[in-house]
Structure 1
Amino acid sequence: MKSSQDIIRNFYDYLSNGNASGALGLMAPDIEWITMWHYKVNGRGPDRVAEGLFKPLMAEWSSFSLVPTEFITEGDTVVSLGEFVGVHATSGKRSEARYAHVWTLRDGKIARFRQYIDTQAIAEARR
């Protein structure tokens, strides 16, 4: 069985390889997804994450990556610290925004996600 940290590392790996379905497959059917910026996931579940986050994120940014630099694990909770790096599709501006992601796992699946990010850095790129 994979550790909680391994599952979260797999999530980032899936996203970096463009495998959204692999990332969604790591989620519990009732996942709660909480973000700190304008993308809102209404309701619970992987389909809601795809509709409220993945699709609009890919439409707004011509390129982006999440670059985790540190992981802190306590039982079924994993905190990843890192940087969102992206180029806004409309403005053409590059953003480098530090983040903290707090992941909670249940029975080997991601059950809850909370995001804390430098919203000012994101807003600057969107102008």
Structure 2
Amino acid sequence: MTSTPTDIVRDFYDKLSGGDAPGALGLMDPHIEWITMWHYKVEGRGPGPVAEGLFKPLMAEWTSFSLVPTEFITEGETVVSLGDFRGVHGTTGKISEARYAHVWTVKDGKITRFRQYIDTLAVAEARRP
């Protein structure tokens, strides 16, 4: 059975929430473009730069976090997921609750592009001592 773009995006969130970062990275195209709106920057293309520029610093900064998608909107190869980021900041101990929109492009069963839109103020407030 062939997975739809929405299935692949759901699988990404499931793997991430289950602590399977290698599995989540495995869903990415070798040349994925990853665009974020906050202080984590992914330099270059591919799963390696995503791991180095996003996953590692995210896990180091937040004692816990979750991405909970609440809605999926799909048009062809594009999937928009709307949801909630919730994290406990490791230094301040403050909780951040930020709404997000993620725009995914899935081609030939792999995630080729990710664009993030998030309530950066909610994240910044949790980081502020």
Once the two structures are superposed, what CA deviation does each residue of 1:34-90 show, in whole Å capped at 9, x if it has no partner?
000000000000000000000000000000000000000001100000000000000
Question: Which residue number in structure 2 is paired with residue 76 of structure 1?
Answer: 77
TM-score, structure 1 as length reference: 1.00
In 1, distance between residues paired with 2:48 and 2:3? 24
* Counterpart AA for 1:15: L
Secondary structure of the structure 1 residue equivalent to 2:43: coil
Q: Does 1:15 align with 2:16?
A: yes
Q: How does 1:1-127 map to 2 (within 5 A)?
A: 1-127=2-128
> Identity over aligned residues, as a percent?
78
Once the two structures are superposed, what CA deviation does each residue of 1:76-119 show, in whole Å capped at 9, x if it has no partner?
10000000000000000000000000000111100000000000
In 2, distance between residues paired with 1:19 and 1:103? 19
What is the number of equivalent residue pairs in this alignment? 127
TM-score, structure 2 as length reference: 0.98
In 2, distance between residues paired with 1:31 and 1:107? 13
* Ranges in structure 2 where 5+ consecutive residues have no aligned partner: none
Secondary structure of the structure 2 residue equivalent to 1:48: helix
Cα RMSD (Å) of the superposition? 0.3
* Ranges in structure 1 where 5+ consecutive residues have no aligned partner: none
